[in-house]
Chain A
Amino acid sequence: MQSAPLAHLAHLAHSAHIDYLLHLADNALVLGQRNAEWCGHGPILEEDIALSNISLDLIGQARLLYQHAATLKGDGSTEDRLAYFRDAPEFRNYTLLELPHTQALVGYAVDNRDYAVTIARNFLFSALMALLWEQLQQSTDAQLAAIAAKSLKEVRYHLRHAHDWLLRLGDGTDASHQRTQAALDHLLPYTQEFWTDSAFETQVAQQGVGVAVTRVKHDWETLVNNTLAEATLQRPSSAGFVTTGKLGVHSEHLTFLLGEMQSLARAHPEGVW
């Protein structure tokens, strides 16, 4: 029989494990939903298709992670319940991923979507996940390791897509260069959140379920710096306010995103096709 403190520790480990799965799932779902906004509105047909395919991959990864988290919770949760019936403070995605496709200080106007922001964000996040999924293949959680092996194949294509477009836009016309530089200036400070410690990440890293994200920081920096140099873009400062989306404290944008995404499921709970 476990003593009370041991039972308490086991409970903490279990809830950190679930929080970590939700963090990975929410990252994938929120960016998948954001990128899906380009479906039918892409700058060119090929990019419309590319972004829709990338969203499909991300939402597929989110589904696998939510199903796994629901099983571990063991309280009758389902992937749909986790995706559609949690509110913004329960989402654990990085703030970076919920931002609209706009430059800083433009607000949320749909008309002002800027593909340079989309590409810069996809690059920064795909670079992180290509490194993280690779490490997570060794997770002590066999199901998470299996999801990582699949997701790694997909994110490599996402990274390749964003990387090639970053080169084309950065080393393109004056206008594309200027807009891509502005997108990076806007987004890079949000990547500070990748490297800040959180209780659940520390816990899962100790368990071997997760990876201390700082382990991939060096490689991420190298990849970002090399690509920006190749794209003739400047690496902006990433100082300033550190966002806290993974702790559930988000920007105002997540509520709008969830409002749109969750409205159908909430209007028809338990509805099936």
Chain B
Amino acid sequence: MNHAAASAAALTPEAVWAALDGLCDPEIPVVTLQEMGILRAVHLRPDGVEVVITPTYSGCPAMEHIHDDILSTLRALGVQAQVTTQLAPAWTTDWMTPVARDKLRAYGIAPPAPCASPTPASQGQSGIVMQFARPLRAREVVACPRCHSDNTTETSHFGSTACKALYKCLACMEPFDHFKPY
């Protein structure tokens, strides 16, 4: 796109979305910010464009990178922009598009299952309290992204980033990452 044209009066939210379409998650460079559900909104303001993003995990070190990527992409188009971080509603893996899930699988990361409707930890009194440790422990079937076998086992609750767990396929014996439902 011609720089001067982009900054001209015809700037629309759709044009901004399109401009940001190519930006990928720095830690999983096969999925875009839109497909991840990180990019929440674009607002045209009198003084420029406001892009709203939401963090995945609180301490995700990629957020500053994402922030800078958005600003530099829009600046290259001659668009004055600011990035706002919005916490609520909290990001969930349920916002990942089906396309993102397919791309993750093709990349070797088992995509997250849909999040169960949250069970309140302290529903009423005793007994139910163990619930919030339990549903996660209930054996979720995580298929191997390579050979698609369901015969897999969790090696560790935490993997190469906070959002992933380490798994091993017992059929093809390959280790793989699983994007945790969040």
Chain A positions 160 through 173: 1 when the CB is less than 8 Å from some CB of chain B, otherwise 0: 11011000000000
Answer yes or no: A79 CB below 8 A from chain B CBs. Answer: no
Residues on B with beta carbons closer than 8 Å to the beta carbon of A54: 158
Q: Which of A50, A130, A143 contacts B132 (CB 8 A)?
A: A130
Q: Are A61 and B59 in contact (CB under 8 A)?
A: yes
Residues on B with beta carbons closer than 8 Å to the beta carbon of A156: 132-133, 136
Give Cα A59 to B89, complex, Å.
Answer: 21
Answer yes or no: B4 CB below 8 A from chain A CBs. Answer: no
Residues on B with beta carbons closer than 8 Å to the beta carbon of A161: 157-158
Q: Are B126 and A218 in contact (CB under 8 A)?
A: yes
Q: Are B159 and A134 in contact (CB under 8 A)?
A: no
Answer yes or no: B145 CB below 8 A from chain A CBs. Answer: no
Answer yes or no: A146 CB below 8 A from chain B CBs. Answer: yes
Q: Are B136 and A160 in contact (CB under 8 A)?
A: yes
Q: Which of A46, A49, A150 contacts B87 (CB 8 A)?
A: A150
Q: Are A49 and B159 in contact (CB under 8 A)?
A: yes
Answer yes or no: A265 CB below 8 A from chain B CBs. Answer: no
Interface hub of B59, B120, B136, B160 (most chain A Cβ within 10 A):
B59
Q: Are A46 and B121 in contact (CB under 8 A)?
A: no
Interface hub of A49, A53, A130, A226 (most chain B Cβ within 10 A):
A53
Q: A53-B162, A64-B87, A223-B129 are contacts. A150–B156 as well, Cβ < 8 Å?
A: no
CB distance from A136 to the nearest CB of B (A): 12
Chain B positions 114 through 139: 1 when the CB is less than 8 Å from some CB of chain A, otherwise 0: 00000011100111011011001100
Answer yes or no: B61 CB below 8 A from chain A CBs. Answer: yes
Q: Are A157 and B59 in contact (CB under 8 A)?
A: no
A-B contacts besides A53-B161, A143-B87, 16 pairs, CB < 8 Å:
A50-B156, A56-B61, A57-B58, A64-B58, A134-B121, A135-B122, A146-B87, A146-B90, A147-B87, A153-B182, A154-B58, A156-B132, A159-B132, A160-B136, A160-B137, A218-B125
Answer yes or no: A149 CB below 8 A from chain B CBs. Answer: yes
Which of chain A's residues has its CB closest to B124's CB? A219
Q: Are A56 and B88 in contact (CB under 8 A)?
A: no
Give Cα A73 to B129, complex, Å.
Answer: 36
Answer yes or no: A104 CB below 8 A from chain B CBs. Answer: no
Residues on B with beta carbons closer than 8 Å to the beta carbon of A218: 125-126
Q: A46-B158, A56-B59, A60-B59 are contacts. A219–B88 as well, Cβ < 8 Å?
A: no
Answer yes or no: A244 CB below 8 A from chain B CBs. Answer: no
Q: Are B162 and A56 in contact (CB under 8 A)?
A: yes
Residue tally, chain A, CB below 8 Å to B: 43
Q: Which of B55, B59, B120, B166 contacts A58 (CB 8 A)?
A: B59
CB distance from B4 to the nearest CB of A (A): 33
Q: Are B180 and A157 in contact (CB under 8 A)?
A: yes
**Chain B contact residues: over half helix, strand or loop, or mixed?**
loop
Answer yes or no: B57 CB below 8 A from chain A CBs. Answer: yes
Give Cα A182 to B34, complex, Å.
Answer: 49
Answer yes or no: A151 CB below 8 A from chain B CBs. Answer: yes
Answer yes or no: B11 CB below 8 A from chain A CBs. Answer: no
Give Cα A49 to B158, complex, Å.
Answer: 7
Which of chain A's residues has its CB closest to B156's CB? A46
Residues on B with beta carbons closer than 8 Å to the beta carbon of A143: 87
- Residues facing A in B131-182 (CB within 8 A) are 132-133, 136-137, 155-162, 166, 180, 182
Q: Are A159 and B90 in contact (CB under 8 A)?
A: no
Q: Which of B130, B157, B161 contacts A226 (CB 8 A)?
A: B130
- Residues facing B in A53-93 (CB within 8 A) are 53-61, 63-64
Residue contacts A-B, CB under 8 angstroms, 25 given: A57-B57, A57-B59, A59-B59, A60-B58, A61-B58, A143-B87, A146-B88, A146-B90, A147-B87, A149-B87, A149-B90, A151-B58, A153-B182, A154-B162, A160-B133, A160-B136, A160-B137, A161-B157, A163-B133, A219-B121, A219-B126, A219-B129, A223-B129, A223-B130, A226-B130
Q: Are B158 and A130 in contact (CB under 8 A)?
A: no
Answer yes or no: B41 CB below 8 A from chain A CBs. Answer: no
Q: A130-B121, A219-B121 are contacts. A60–B88 as well, Cβ < 8 Å?
A: no
Answer yes or no: B99 CB below 8 A from chain A CBs. Answer: no
Q: Are A153 and B90 in contact (CB under 8 A)?
A: yes
Answer yes or no: B5 CB below 8 A from chain A CBs. Answer: no
